[in-house]
Amino acid sequence: MRQAGRYLPEYRKVRSQAGSFLNLCYSPDLATEVTLQPIRRFGFDASILFSDILVIPDALGQKVEFRENIGPVLSPRIRSADDLDRLRTDEAADRLEPVYQTVRNLAAALPSNVTLIGFAGAPWTVATYMVGGEGSRDQAETRLWAYAEPQAFERLINLLVETTAAYLIRQVEAGAEVLQLFDTWAGSLPEREFERWCIAPIAEIVKRVRARYPAVPIIGFPRGAGQRYAEFAQRTGVNAVSIDVTVPLHFAKTEIQPGCTVQGNLDPLLLVSGGKAMTGEVDRILHSLGEGPFIFNLGHGIVPQTPIDHVAALVEQVKSYRG
């Protein structure tokens, strides 16, 4: 997950040329280059588009900035129906055109045996940034608005469903072969809200994409969902589910894998530590899940302090495994 990033010196060089993180996302030549960098180094079986989940609110007219040592900051915050009325839905497609060009570039440049994954943020997670204005430990402001004004909040979710489905369809048109939906903050939702704001919106996006491209595989990642991972897999219609580092392997094997592919779930900090701790856990994951439909991956994004030689060792170990 998050293949290109600050752990690669060649990425940092390109990032400095872009001027800002968002400029990098919207510069097709540069975004293509940083997407290809980890493929050249490590020979992964798949490549994920370099972009960010917050290009959607940016395309809708909410200002998005990535500030050093702070992270994303969005303004003005969405807190009312009037705020929703100010979003520019008619301009989103044009604003996102550079992303589609990056996908086209990658479809032409990647080796034929490397799958191209397109992606987007799931509506609940994107909404938490639009409402809160920044990342949050518990998404309290968004949850409070959803409780207090569920109809207004549902308008925002419905808008994100429509925009995100169109965004993913355009990625497939441009050459994406697999799609992934990241619901990073799904774990903060109680039971009924998980159904309403995580499962239902993602199921609708899957339905809309499948209406146009029925054969395109879709991966869902409801991070922090716990035992609700199985329900998510069954009810959204995704082909695969990414599991975070807290999901027990036995649960994944018995409750998720019989119905769909599992992707995951090495702790990114084990990749930082390397050595026997890493290789032992990689071996345990492979032997637990490798006999069924499985994509080896991290349980969340690779972190900046990751040693490059640890990534190379991990790739060699996984590729040498025979389930």
Among all residues, which ones are annotated catalytic?
2, 6, 15, 52, 129
- Evaluate the omega torsion of the peptide bond into residue 76 and state whether it is cis, within 30 degrees of 0: yes
Q: Which residues pair with 241 in a beta bridge?
A: 220, 262
SS in 3 state form for 252-309? HHHHHCCCCEEEEEECHHHHHHCHHHHHHHHHHHHHHHCCCCEEEEECCCCCCCCCHH
**Rg value, the chain, Cα:** 19
- State both tokens at 273: 């530590």
Cα separation, 26 vs 99, whole angstroms: 6
List, in order, residues 6 or more apart from 183 with CB less than 8 Å away. 121, 122, 124, 125, 198, 202, 220, 221, 222, 223
Cα separation, 217 vs 181, whole angstroms: 11
List, in order, residues 6 or more apart from 204 with CB less than 8 Å away. 161, 165
- Evaluate the omega torsion of the peptide bond into residue 265 and state whether it is cis, within 30 degrees of 0: yes
Cα separation, 183 vs 243, whole angstroms: 11
Q: Residue 184's closest CA among 133, 238, 143, 125?
A: 125
Cα separation, 234 vs 260, whole angstroms: 8
